[in-house]
């Protein structure tokens, strides 16, 4: 890993988000020459710049939909981590043109600019929502995966790889900050469905796996992070027990459009093209990519018996959930809330939980 990033220039699109900031933090330990943070949010870039206060960081305000801006930003870049996306499910459903423009056309812009600038490798960060998608967000991320993998046929100078992850505990816009706010303001938690399970990993662990996949990849693979899952109702119960009182309620408000009971990281259509490698499943593409086939020609395949879903992976017990929440200070009463819900009033929070039916 040290040799991969040492004295190199790295571009992170969507770099001010939870993943981007932790990725920046970890890459800085490998002594890069420069990390370029490319994001649409001026304020978040200012906040991140002040937080890190590191001369190796360069902040660029820009949109992945602007090919000219992306191309200029990619000059002399060695590695790209593509995190920029419109990712909130209801937002994508209500703004389909924007979701398609940012998540699909934006990804294609980054791909083309990576090729034009002879970038060594582009890592597209994907999601379990891209597998058998039933909402627009998942569909756009599935398309982004296809665009990224197919780009390996256009050039031998740049390699392209995808990494699928699940939910990151406590990330911006996720359910833990929401539950904390609900408990503090409403003394209740709202669930869409008590049967729901979700893949879950700490942010630090997720980024370590992302960097590991970036180092190991040849180009053309989809790396799937192996991770445990949680039942959302267990999470709610633990947080209610630790941060609530005897009057705390857990209210079921119904599933929202485009929402699954369980999430999938390796679909039933992919289980015959899987290689197992430590903390990963590596999915090989249907496309014939010569350098990829050469690299894996003697590596045995592992045909999974069933799809890899949050239902059939290891489910964290309530005591394990409590341990993880405590480790990352999510059970501290005075912890600052997520910026997305920090300033909501009690009335706004009540309306929001019913209208959007938040869940991870």
Q: How many residues in the chain?
A: 360
Contact in structure between 331 and 179 (CB atoms under 8 Å):
no
Residue (of 41, 71, 76) closest to 59 by Cα position:
41
Contacts of 360 (CB under 8 A, 6+ apart): 167, 174, 175, 198, 200, 232
Q: How far apart are CA 333 and CA 242, in angstroms?
A: 9
Q: How far apart are CA 113 and CA 13, in angstroms?
A: 13
Kindly write down the DSSP assignment for every residue of 160-189, as one continuous string. Answer: EEEEEE-EETT-TT-HHHHHHHHHHHTSEE
How far is the C-alpha of 23 from the C-alpha of 78, rounded, in Å?
Answer: 16
Closest CA to 130 of 287, 298, 313, 263: 263
Within 8 A by CB and 6+ apart from 157, the residues are 115, 118
Of residues 129, 141, 181, 322, which has the active-site annotation? 129
Determine contact, residues 41/14, Cβ cutoff 8 Å. Answer: no
Query: Is residue 346 flagged as an active site residue?
Result: no
CA distance 215 to 135: 31
Q: DSSP code of 55? A: T
Give the residue numbers marked as catalytic. Answer: 129
């Amino acid at each position: 890993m040290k040799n991969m990033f040492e004295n190199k220039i790295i571009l992170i699109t969507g770099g001010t988000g939870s993943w981007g900031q932790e990725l920046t933090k970890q890459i800085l330990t490998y002594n890069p020459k420069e990390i370029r943070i490319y994001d649409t949010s001026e304020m978040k870039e200012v906040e991140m710049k002040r937080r890190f206060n590191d001369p190796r960081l360069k902040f660029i305000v820009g949109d992945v939909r602007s090919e000219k801006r992306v191309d200029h930003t990619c000059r002399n870049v060695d590695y790209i981590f593509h995190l920029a996306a419109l990712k909130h499910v209801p937002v994508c459903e209500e703004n389909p043109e924007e979701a398609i423009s940012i998540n699909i056309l934006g990804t294609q812009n980054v791909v083309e600019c990576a090729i034009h600038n002879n970038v060594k490798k582009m890592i597209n960060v994907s999601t379990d929502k891209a597998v058998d998608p039933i909402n627009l967000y998942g569909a756009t991320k599935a398309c982004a995966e296809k665009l990224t993998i197919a780009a390996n046929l256009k050039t031998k100078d740049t390699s392209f790889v995808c990494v699928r992850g699940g939910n990151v505990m406590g990330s911006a816009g996720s359910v833990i900050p929401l539950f904390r706010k609900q408990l503090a303001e409403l003394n209740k938690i709202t669930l869409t469905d008590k049967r729901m399970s979700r893949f879950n990993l700490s942010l630090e662990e997720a980024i370590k796996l992302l960097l590991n996949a970036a180092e190991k990849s040849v180009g053309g693979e989809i790396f799937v992070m192996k991770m445990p899952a949680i039942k959302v109702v267990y999470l709610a119960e633990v947080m209610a027990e630790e941060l609530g009182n005897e009057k705390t309620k857990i209210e079921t408000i119904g599933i929202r459009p485009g929402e699954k009971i369980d999430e999938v990281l390796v679909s039933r259509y992919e289980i015959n093209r899987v290689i197992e490698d430590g903390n990963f499943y590596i999915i090989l593409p249907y496309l014939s990519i010569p350098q990829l086939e050469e690299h894996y020609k003697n590596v045995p395949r592992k045909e999974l018996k069933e799809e890899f879903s949050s239902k059939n992976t290891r489910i964290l017990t309530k005591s394990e959930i409590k341990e993880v929440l405590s480790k990352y200070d999510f059970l501290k009463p005075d912890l600052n809330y997520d910026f997305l819900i920090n300033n909501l009033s009690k009335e706004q929070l009540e309306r929001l939980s019913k209208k959007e039916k938040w869940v991870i």
